[in-house]
Chains A and B, each alone.
Chain A
Amino acid sequence: MKCAKFAILLHDSLHAIAMRQLLGHIPAASCAIISSAADILDADYIITDSTHFTTHVKQMLPLLSRVIIVDNTAAAVTGGDIMWIDSTAGENAIMRQLAGLINKSADEVDESTAMLTNRETEVLRLIASGCINKEIADELNISINTVLTHRKNITAKLGIKSVSGLSLYAMMNGIIRPNDG
């Protein structure tokens, strides 16, 4: 799972400090916490309250990733990439909800960037390991024509033509280890 960047824009500075501490307990949030308003375009999540949402965030929504509003009233603007957490729910409940939202979003991102099907990933692993079409067909118990179709789809999806380029992609994405190719 990738590290997430957070921008904390809360009216109450004590709440902001508490939020930093909370985020420190969530594994997915172990990366950067950026607090400057100028940096919010860089953030994966903007954690704010209703007041700051109206004054600082709302007008920039088309440019932002995900906004989490922590407040004691359900925000009317929730939906899409805007999520709401009840600030009166208590520390543990807030942390659970934050972790849930962040993990869910991270899974969604992972799914959207997974360009290959499981079968194509298997074929790619074998290509990157140096197997020829016949060996891939035997290993996966499929016909050579099916292997060729998978290869064509992999190349089209990834924009990579050469076997060496496919091996590099496989290494960069943990499909094979550097010494497997």
Chain B
Amino acid sequence: MYNSLIKHNTRLGDILLADPRALTVMARFGIKMGVGDNTIAEVCDRLHIDTLMLVTLLNTFIHEDYYPDPYLGLISVESVIDYLRKTNAYYLHFMLPTIERHFELLLARSADKAGNLTLMRQYFDSAKRLLTDRIKHDDEVWFPAVLANKGCRIDPDDVEDRVSDLMSMFIIHLKGDYDQQLGYAVVLALAGLRDDLHQNNRIRERILSPLSTANK
């Protein structure tokens, strides 16, 4: 984990080496690997990205105790929404299908006499439905309301808890014969989703939500 506060002159490579999960943030801005020893400001200049916006998002994404309040008025709402749309697309088109693919293989190659893996798969489907409902609400209600300068209340859901609970089912409670390697693959994919949800929830709650409320 990158421990220092990120600034415009921080080398991007240092951040990504210390916390590779931030690569997903880079991807949503179209920043590819091979960043050399460029600073954030240099990369942003080259790709016409708002430097303050990227620094603020990265600090919020990486640091649990970071609150970007002083910079909220300087950040483009459209850019934050564009970032969150790409985040949602990443869940829909990459993370959820990856977990499903691993789960299908695991079910296909495991005896699962007690039916526990099948129950866990159904539980994953319920978490997936909640997440897709959240994304639909973002697209149809929340984002348009923020862009139209209207206030909009966000009802909390427990997607993150469900993903975390499913990991506990695998790691602590799963019994019976199943393919260990494929089990690991499901858990690691779930961990990736849980972390990304957790880190981007901070961006939703600490950046877009205050902007939404301020517009009320």
Contacts and interface: CB of A to CB of B under 8 A. Distances in A.
B173 A172 contact: yes
Contacts of A160: 165, 168-169
A157 to B, nearest CB: 10
B169 A165 contact: yes
A159 B120 CA distance: 15
Contact of B168 (A2, A165, A171, A173): A165
Interface string A156-177: 0011111011001101110000
A156 to B, nearest CB: 11
B119 A171 contact: yes
A172 B119 contact: yes
Contacts of B169: 160, 165, 168-169, 172
Interface string B151-194: 00000001001101110110111010000000000000000000
Nearest to B113: A3
Interface string B113-135: 01010011001001000000000
Contacts of B175: 2
A136 to B, nearest CB: 20
Given A171-B119, A172-B116, A172-B119, A162 B173 contact: no
A178 interface: yes
A85 B168 CA distance: 40
Nearest to A173: B173
Interface residues of A, number: 14
Contact of A162 (B114, B120, B161, B172): B161
Contacts of A178: 119
Chain B: number of interface residues, binned into ranges: 10 to 19
Contacts of A161: 158, 161, 164-165
Nearest to A168: B123
A167 B52 CA distance: 45
A169 B120 CA distance: 9
Contacts of A164: 123, 126, 158, 162, 165
A164 B165 CA distance: 9
A179 B172 CA distance: 24
Contacts of B126: 164
Contacts of A159: 165, 168, 171-172
B130 to A, nearest CB: 9
Contact of A158 (B120, B158, B173): B173
A39 B171 CA distance: 23
A165 B119 CA distance: 11
Residue of B162, B165, B175 contacting most chain A CB atoms (<10 Å): B165
Nearest to A165: B165
A125 B45 CA distance: 58
Interface string B134-162: 00000000000000000000000010011
B118 to A, nearest CB: 10
Interface in A131-181: 158-162, 164-165, 168-169, 171-173, 178
B14 to A, nearest CB: 34
Nearest to A161: B161
Contacts of A2: 175
Contacts of A168: 119-120, 123, 165, 169
Interface of A: 2, 158-162, 164-165, 168-169, 171-173, 178
9 contacts: A159-B172, A162-B161, A165-B162, A165-B165, A165-B166, A168-B165, A169-B173, A172-B114, A173-B173
Closest 9 CB pairs of A and B: A165-B165, A159-B168, A162-B161, A161-B161, A160-B165, A172-B116, A168-B123, A162-B158, A160-B168
Given A158-B172, A169-B173, 11 more contacts: A2-B175, A158-B168, A159-B172, A160-B165, A160-B169, A161-B158, A162-B162, A162-B165, A165-B168, A169-B169, A172-B119
